[in-house]
Amino acid sequence: MTKGIFNLSIPVPAIDIVIFTIYKDKFCILLTKKSDDPFKWKFVLPGGILMSGYSLEENFDRILLEKTGIKWVYKEQLYTFWDPDRDTRWHAISIIYYALVRNESFLQDIDLTKVHIIEYDSLNFKDVGFDHEKIIKYAKQRLDWKLEYTNISKNILPDYFTLSNLQKVYEIILGKTIDKRNFRKKILSTKILKDTWTQDKSSNRPARLYEFIDKDLKIMDIL
Amino acid sequence: MTKGIFNLSIPVPAIDIVIFTIYKDKFCILLTKKSDDPFKWKFVLPGGILMSGYSLEENFDRILLEKTGIKWVYKEQLYTFWDPDRDTRWHAISIIYYALVRNESFLQDIDLTKVHIIEYDSLNFKDVGFDHEKIIKYAKQRLDWKLEYTNISKNILPDYFTLSNLQKVYEIILGKTIDKRNFRKKILSTKILKDTWTQDKSSNRPARLYEFIDKDLKIMDIL
DNA sequence: GCAAAAGTGTTTGGTCTACACCCATGA
DNA sequence: TCATGGGTGTAGACCAAACACTTTTGC
């Protein structure tokens, strides 16, 4: 296909999705494997072409379902790319989303013949096609920031959870250990959590169960 | 034009630009006035349709020039909208940028028959068409954040400037007064400035002239 | 009673805020 | 000599990081 200045090639609008999750206590990303050229056998982000007449939301949900089998995830828009040379097949305009989801909510639905759960730390970016490496890294950076300043972690936790559960999420995603006392003080001071006055008895000593106060994304108050 | 589910309407990709500046010591935004329906005589963001075969950058520069006469501004991508009902004429996919620019660098070029310099604080959003109110407010929010955590203010200052010049930019954009001593301490501690060892003699007592160390956007180190 | 995870305070250093006066120059 | 904006320091409040032991339960 020619892509000269005065040709009539119409840009193809698409969505690509960076889906993060925690699986077996590892921070992971969901990728698909291309079966055709270009980038045959490379990992790429799940994605697809937008259908006119539907909103971005509707297109997102449809593409997510088609490419992964997953019905719903929490998501945020990341960036939009448009570059005549980005995709070698056509002139693509690509809207990138990143998403965070607990594996319990998608393992029933996911089609593992289509999508692979890849441990983030052992992902070799040499195996990733297109320009998806920089997209994935940018999404991770945004996620780290959101973890620190918002209640985004609610999307990867069950409705009721202990402070230890929560701390573990932070440690796995940020890739570092965190002091337990300081973590508790900081999280409780932000007032994003509510004590449910119930207990989790699955560990040895029972632990308090908390829930998030806000249903939607909330930037933490810096007191 | 119909926009049913199975029709063949092709989405039209477009750019809209939120351009911020300081003019006569006021924080301002550049808007155009629509001369046709819908939203006739309303203020709207300068914008235009993307041409295939060019990069986003190239399209941006062309649309900026066509709609305002301005040759170059510092810009960042903000968000992408796609909604069948957003524009009543066609199904638009709109990529939003916001830009920050010093008026000295565009007043020669700007075509004031096309674009209006509007003082932000006296802008009545009732006069703004489409959904551009929420876009403008979101862009302002992002700009405030960048002012605090990056060297983005370099784009609205000359190459050499005094700390008072810089402080004034912060005060005008953020809309509040700032303590002089604390401001100086904070800015100098971030190490984004370099003393040029020259002086500005235009005021009564000569003032030190500084310049930014980094040419590109830099997130300030939190020491 | 012991293993395992829950829960809890204090000290210290650093950062942020509020605040007022002297200095260098031009007119 | 006076008007104008440039330049400077300190004390108190608040926040962040480092750090170790006791409690509750199941087995």
pLDDT tens digits for range B114-164: 999 999 999 999 999 988 999 999 999 999 999 999 999 999 999 999 999
How confident is the model at residue A6, as a pLDDT? 37
Determine the Cα–Cα distance for residues B175 and B121; give it in Å rounded to an integer.
9
In this structure, how many other beta carbons lie within 10 angstroms of the beta carbon of residue B201?
A: 10
**Contact, B153 vs B168, CB < 8 A?**
no
Output the distance from B166 CA to C24 C1' rounded to whole Å: 21
Q: Strand, coil or helix: what is B135?
A: helix
pLDDT tens digits for range B192-218: 999 999 999 998 899 999 999 999 999
B202 touches strand C (CB under 7 A): no
The residues that bridge with A76 in the sheet, in sequence order, are A98
pLDDT tens digits for range B8-31: 457 889 999 999 999 999 999 999
Residue B4 has pLDDT above 70, yes or no: no
Instruction: Strands of chain A (E only): list them.
Output: 12-23, 26-33, 43-44, 47-49, 74-82, 92-102, 115-119, 193-200, 207-212
Instruction: List Cα–Cα distances, A121 to A48, A187, B201, in angstroms.
Output: 26, 26, 56
DSSP state of B186: H
pLDDT mean values, one per 10 residues, chain A (223 residues): 45 93 97 91 95 92 97 97 73 93 94 96 96 96 96 97 98 97 96 96 94 94 60
Q: Which two tokens stand for residue B102?
A: 């010093």
Determine the Cα–Cα distance for residues B29 and B135; give it in Å rounded to an integer.
12
Q: Which two tokens stand for residue B179?
A: 């303590």
**Contact, A101 vs A70, CB < 8 A?**
yes
How confident is the model at residue B88, as a pLDDT? 61
Q: Which has the closest alpha carbon to A114: A16, A36, A33?
A: A33
Output the distance from A102 CA to C8 C1' rounded to whole Å: 30
- Of all protein residues, which has its CA closest to the C1' atom of C18? B179
**Whether CATH 3.30.365.10 fits A12-147:** no
Amino acid at position A2, single letter: T
B204 touches strand C (CB under 7 A): yes
Distance from CA of B29 to the nearest CA of A (A): 24
How confident is the model at residue B2, as a pLDDT? 39
Where do the CATH 3.90.79.10 domains begin and end in chain B? 12-147
Residues 6+ apart with CB under 8 A from A169: A22, A153, A156, A157
How confident is the model at residue A89, as a pLDDT? 65
Which uninterrupted H or E stretch holds B172? helix B163-174
How confident is the model at residue B89, as a pLDDT? 65
Q: Which has the closest alpha carbon to A215: A144, A155, A140?
A: A155
Distance from CA of B61 to the nearest CA of A (A): 14
How confident is the model at residue B12, as a pLDDT? 85
Where do the CATH 1.10.10.10 domains begin and end in chain B? 150-212
Cα dihedral B138, B144, B149, B150 in deg (nearest 10): 90
How confident is the model at residue A88, as a pLDDT? 62
Q: Which has the closest alpha carbon to A46: A26, A71, A66, A28?
A: A66
How confident is the model at residue A2, as a pLDDT? 39
Which chain B residues are within 8 Å of A55, Cβ to Cβ?
82-84
Which chain B residues are within 8 Å of A52, Cβ to Cβ?
3, 7-11, 84, 91
pLDDT tens digits for range B58-70: 999 999 999 999 9
How confident is the model at residue B220, as a pLDDT? 86
What is the CATH architecture assignment of B150-212? Answer: Orthogonal Bundle (1.10)
How confident is the model at residue B126, as a pLDDT? 97
Residue B6 has pLDDT above 50, yes or no: no
Average pLDDT score, chain B: 91
Amino acid at position B223, single letter: L
Higher pLDDT, A37 or B170: B170
Q: Do A84 and B5 touch (CB under 8 A)?
A: no
How confident is the model at residue A33, as a pLDDT? 95
Residue B222: band (very low, low, confident or very high) from pLDDT cuts 50, 70, 90:
low
Residues 6+ apart with CB under 8 A from A197: A208
Higher pLDDT, B110 or A89: B110
Per-residue b or e along A156-178, where b marks 16 or more CB atoms closer than 10 Å to that residue's CB: bbeeebbbebbbbbbebbeeeee
Higher pLDDT, A18 or B88: A18
CB-side exposure of A132: number of CA atoms within 13 Å?
Answer: 29
Which chain B residues are within 8 Å of A7, Cβ to Cβ?
52-53
Distance from CA of A93 to the nearest CA of B (A): 9
